[in-house]
């Protein structure tokens, strides 16, 4: 099994080296759209009935009989590199999800399989010409139907993302394509190249990208790591996805046979597609992502801010308002559909900590809708003196307004046995020597509602937590009063 993987990697590395030799055959400048054009790309209107409805830019009269409705938006799905020359199953899933949820929309599938099923670098070299084929089609629609480009949405997966970008850059005039969505745009031979040689924000009025497999191995990553859009989403940090680890490989193989191996390798890459499908299917479970400098800061929970376009909705229903520069947005997801998770930032104050300790805590929350159950908190460095720690907690349910918080210090067995020994040795002074954790306020901000709730101990003594003890924290008095005022004045947002 490992052998196959190594072989795959070697093959790709070999191909990439080959590619360096071919590179440099740069694109012709824009404006080459006019001359008649023979292409190996075909376009199919979805859903297909018995008569195959291939869309030919030179014979557009066939379009209406195939069900193309020029008053509706047009979505073109473009696939990526192909190993076996077959359309992958996600394409029909995505097309079906678009058609059945948006209804008044034309869905077209780009088929460039004959060019895609080659060595990776050769397929890369074809991306410009496939992009130009799409541009030709859109140009023909513009001329014959006065079909506006801003009603066009290109969705491209892997190499298809860059193809969509090239399509945008081949179109002339001030009018641009409405939207391009890059689903884990391909990394090898595109990472670090100039914006005109890959998908970039200039290619359409609005460009969004979902990065799901940027984990580097052997010097390259399958998905591109750099930002290429107006909004670049990095679910779970973007490098790898939950449910895709090698641990699951045996499950996949038992389900799909040897195909399972390929499924596992593709898992994180293709997750970008399924996140997008999820946004169409589960309308009441839209995932929010938050602008953040890097994965580490996001994991500390310091980025759950929605002011000034800092957060946005992942997938089809994204908010298209944007300000020039690329934004990197982060979020956590579940390992399967629906992928949505609710994000909470916790800030815990520790007061007068005498000994340095690194406690492991469990928190549970009660909200007006649900209870959270036990949430283990891992504190990565010892606490001493006065300290305030922040971390990110994710839950798969909406708890409603938070009412009550329970905190427990999970003593390790080691701690307990040490403590018991100390007690036996010095039976008189024991009670004061027992390790104590003094917890001040606990403040929780919910990313999805932007509400902040602060919890306090009910009495002064209740602040002092001992090993294996449960302590209940309630909303601080000031906080409840503020909450009531806010409710009354009708503004729920905590800005």
Ligand X SMILES: *[C@@H]1O[C@H](CO)[C@@H](O)[C@H](O)[C@H]1NC(C)=O
Binding interface with ligand X (CB under 6 A) = 69, 71-72, 104
453 forms beta bridges with 444
Q: How far is the CB of 124 from ligand X (least distance, A)?
A: 38
Whether 328 has a binding-site annotation, put simply, is no
End-to-end distance of the chain based on CA atoms, in angstroms? 53
Q: How far is the CB of 102 from ligand X (least distance, A)?
A: 11
Tell me which of 126, 158, 221, 372 is the catalytic residue. Answer: 158
Q: How far is the CB of 70 from ligand X (least distance, A)?
A: 8
Q: How far is the CB of 48 from ligand X (least distance, A)?
A: 17
Judged by CB, which is closer to ligand X: 13, or 102? 102
| Residues 19, 121 contacting (CB under 8 angstroms) | yes
Judged by CB, which is closer to ligand X: 66, or 422? 66
Alpha-carbon span 120 to 19, nearest angstrom: 8
Under DSSP, the state recorded for 86 is S
Catalytic residue at 158? yes
Count of alpha carbons within 13 angstroms of residue 202, beta-carbon side: 11
Alpha-carbon span 306 to 355, nearest angstrom: 38
Tell me which of 126, 133, 136, 184 is the catalytic residue. Answer: 184
Among the residues of 371-448, which ranges form H helices? 413-425, 430-433
Whether 374 has a binding-site annotation, put simply, is no
Q: How far is the CB of 42 from ligand X (least distance, A)?
A: 24
Count of alpha carbons within 13 angstroms of residue 327, beta-carbon side: 25
Tokens of 376: 């283990």
Judged by CB, which is closer to ligand X: 69, or 255? 69
Q: Which whole-number Å values give the CA distances from 100 to 13, 278, 410, in the listed order?
A: 41, 13, 49
Quickly list DSSP for 157-185.
ETHHHHHHHHHHHH--SS--EEEEEEES-
Tell me which of 153, 230, 269, 274 is the catalytic residue. Answer: 269
Judged by CB, which is closer to ligand X: 42, or 70? 70
Catalytic residue at 256? no
Distance of CA 375 to the CA centre of its chain: 23
Catalytic residue at 89? no
Judged by CB, which is closer to ligand X: 49, or 381? 49
- What is the number of the residue whose Cβ is closest to ligand X? 69
| Residues 238, 211 contacting (CB under 8 angstroms) | yes
Q: How far is the CB of 397 from ligand X (least distance, A)?
A: 37
Alpha-carbon span 492 to 409, nearest angstrom: 33
Closest to 107 (Cα-Cα) out of 130, 135, 131, 77: 77
Binding site: which residues? 198, 203
Query: Among all residues, which ones are annotated catalytic?
Result: 158, 184, 269
Residues making up the binding site for Ca(2+) = 198, 203
């Amino acid at each position: 099994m490992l052998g196959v993987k190594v072989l795959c990697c070697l093959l790709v590395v070999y191909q990439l080296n080959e590619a360096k030799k071919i590179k440099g055959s740069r694109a012709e400048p824009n404006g080459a759209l006019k001359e008649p054009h023979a292409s190996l790309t075909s376009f199919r209107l979805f859903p297909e009935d018995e008569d195959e409805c291939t869309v030919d830019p030179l014979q557009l009269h066939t379009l209406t009989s195939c069900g193309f409705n020029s008053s509706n938006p047009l979505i073109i799905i473009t696939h990526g590199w192909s190993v076996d020359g077959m359309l992958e199953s996600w394409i029909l899933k995505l097309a079906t999800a678009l058609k059945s949820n948006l209804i008044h929309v034309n869905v077209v599938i780009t088929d460039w399989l004959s060019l895609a099923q080659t060595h990776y670098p050769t397929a890369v070299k074809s991306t410009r010409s496939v992009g130009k084929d799409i541009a030709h089609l859109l140009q023909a629609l513009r001329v014959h139907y006065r079909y506006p480009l801003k009603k066009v949405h290109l969705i491209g997966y892997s190499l298809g993302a860059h193809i969509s970008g090239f399509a945008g850059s081949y179109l002339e005039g001030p009018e641009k394509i409405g939207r391009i969505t890059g689903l884990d745009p391909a990394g090898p031979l595109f990472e670090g190249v100039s914006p005109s040689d890959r998908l970039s924000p200039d290619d359409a009025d609005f460009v969004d990208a979902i990065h799901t497999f940027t984990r580097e191995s052997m010097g390259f990553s399958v998905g591109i790591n750099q930002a290429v859009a107006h909004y670049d989403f990095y679910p779970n940090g973007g490098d790898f996805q939950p449910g895709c680890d090698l641990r699951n490989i045996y499950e996949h193989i038992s389900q799909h046979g040897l195909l399972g191996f390929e499924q596992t390798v593709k898992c994180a890459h293709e997750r970008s597609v399924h996140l997008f499908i999820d946004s169409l299917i589960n309308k009441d479970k839209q995932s929010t992502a938050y602008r953040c400098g890097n994965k580490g800061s996001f994991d500390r929970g310091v980025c759950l801010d929605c002011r000034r376009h800092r957060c946005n909705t992942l997938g089809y229903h994204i908010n298209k308002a944007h300000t020039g520069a690329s934004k990197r947005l982060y979020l956590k997801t579940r390992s399967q559909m629906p992928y949505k998770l609710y994000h909470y930032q916790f800030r815990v104050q520790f007061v007068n900590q005498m000994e340095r300790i690194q406690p492991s805590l469990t928190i549970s929350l009660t909200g007006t809708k649900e209870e959270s159950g036990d949430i283990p908190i891992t504190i990565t460095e010892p606490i001493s003196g006065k300290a305030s720690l922040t971390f990110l907690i994710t839950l798969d349910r909406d708890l409603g307004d938070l009412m009550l918080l329970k905190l427990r210090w999970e003593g390790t067995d080691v701690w307990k046995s040490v403590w018991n020994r100390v007690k036996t040795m010095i039976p008189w002074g024991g009670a004061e020597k027992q390790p104590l954790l003094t917890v001040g306020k606990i403040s929780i901000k919910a990313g999805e509602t932007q509400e902040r709730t602060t919890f306090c101990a009910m009495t002064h003594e209740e602040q002092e937590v001992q090993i294996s003890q449960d302590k209940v924290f309630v909303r601080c008095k000031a906080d409840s009063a503020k909450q009531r005022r806010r409710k009354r004045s009708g503004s729920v947002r905590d800005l």
